[in-house]
Amino acid sequence: MSRIRKLIPGVDSKLLIRDAAKVAPDPTRRLFLRGGASVGALAFLTGCDIVDSLSAENALRAMSRFNDRAQMWLFNPNKLAPTYPDSAITRPFPFNAYYALEDAPEIDAADYKLEVGGLIANDKPWTLDELYALPQETQITRHICVEGWSAIGKWTGVRLSEFLKRLGADTRAQYVWFQCAEGYSTTIDMATALHPQTQLTFKFDDQILPRAYGFPMKCRMPTKLGFKNPKYIIGMHVTNKDLGGYWENQGYNWHSGV
Ligand SMILES: Nc1nc2c(c(=O)[nH]1)N[C@H]1C(S)=C(S)[C@@H](COP(=O)(O)O)O[C@H]1N2
Ligand SMILES: [Mo]
Task: Show the domain range for 58.
Answer: 13-74
Select from 229, 234, 232, 225 the least CA-distant residue to 253. Answer: 225
Instruction: Verify that 23 and 112 share a domain, yes or no.
Output: no
| CATH number where 143 lies | 3.90.420.10
Task: Indicate the top mutation candidate among 178, 229, 232, 247 to test ligand 1's pocket, ranked by most ligand atoms within 8 A of CB.
Answer: 229
For residue 99, give the ligand nearest its CA: 1
Q: Is residue 79 part of a domain?
A: no
Q: Is residue 125 part of a domain?
A: yes
Query: Contact at 8 Å (CB) between 150 and 56?
Result: yes
Verify whether ligand 1 is closer than 6 Å to residue 239 (CB atom): no
Query: Contact at 8 Å (CB) between 238 and 167?
Result: yes
Verify whether ligand 1 is closer than 6 Å to residue 229 (CB atom): yes
**Of all protein residues, whose CA lies closest to atom 2 belonging to ligand 1?**
231
- Number of folded domains in the chain? 2
Instruction: Verify that 36 and 133 share a domain, yes or no.
Output: no
Verify whether ligand 1 is closer than 6 Å to residue 183 (CB atom): no
Instruction: Verify that 202 and 91 share a domain, yes or no.
Output: yes
Q: Is residue 4 part of a domain?
A: no
Reported pTM? 0.75
Query: Contact at 8 Å (CB) between 201 and 193?
Result: no
Instruction: Verify that 165 and 213 share a domain, yes or no.
Output: yes
Q: Of 74, 94, 125, which closes a domain?
A: 74
Verify whether ligand 1 is closer than 6 Å to residue 95 (CB atom): yes
Instruction: Verify that 25 and 149 share a domain, yes or no.
Output: no
Q: DSSP string covering the chain, please?
A: -HHHHHHSTT--HHHHHHHHHHHS-HHHHHHHHHTT--HHHHHHHHHHHHHHSTTHHHHHHHHTTS-HHHHHHHS-TTSPPP---GGG--SSPPP--SS-GGGS----TTT-EEEEEES-S----EEHHHHHTS--EEEEEEEEETTTEEEEEEEEEEEHHHHHHHHT--TTSSEEEEEETTS-EEEEEHHHHTSTT-EEEEEETTEE--GGGTTT-EEE-TTS-GGGS--SEEEEEEESS----TTGGGTGGG-S--
Instruction: Verify that 121 and 197 share a domain, yes or no.
Output: yes
Instruction: Verify that 48 and 27 share a domain, yes or no.
Output: yes
Instruction: Verify that 147 and 217 share a domain, yes or no.
Output: yes
Q: Is residue 255 part of a domain?
A: no
Q: Is residue 2 part of a domain?
A: no
Instruction: Verify that 93 and 207 share a domain, yes or no.
Output: yes
Instruction: Verify that 66 and 108 share a domain, yes or no.
Output: no
Q: Is residue 81 part of a domain?
A: no
Ligand 2: centre distance to CA 7 (Å): 24
Q: Is residue 206 part of a domain?
A: yes
pLDDT of residue 26: 46
Query: Contact at 8 Å (CB) between 200 and 160?
Result: yes
Instruction: Verify that 147 and 199 share a domain, yes or no.
Output: yes
Ligand 1 atom nearest to CA at 95? 19
Instruction: Verify that 33 and 99 share a domain, yes or no.
Output: no
Q: Is residue 80 part of a domain?
A: no
pLDDT tens sequence for the chain (258 residues): 333 323 344 444 455 555 555 544 444 444 444 444 444 444 444 543 333 333 444 544 554 554 343 344 446 767 888 899 999 999 999 999 999 999 999 999 999 999 999 999 999 999 999 999 999 999 999 888 766 678 899 999 999 999 999 999 999 999 999 999 999 999 999 999 999 999 999 999 999 999 999 999 999 999 888 899 999 999 999 999 999 898 888 766 532 222
For residue 98, give the ligand nearest its CA: 1
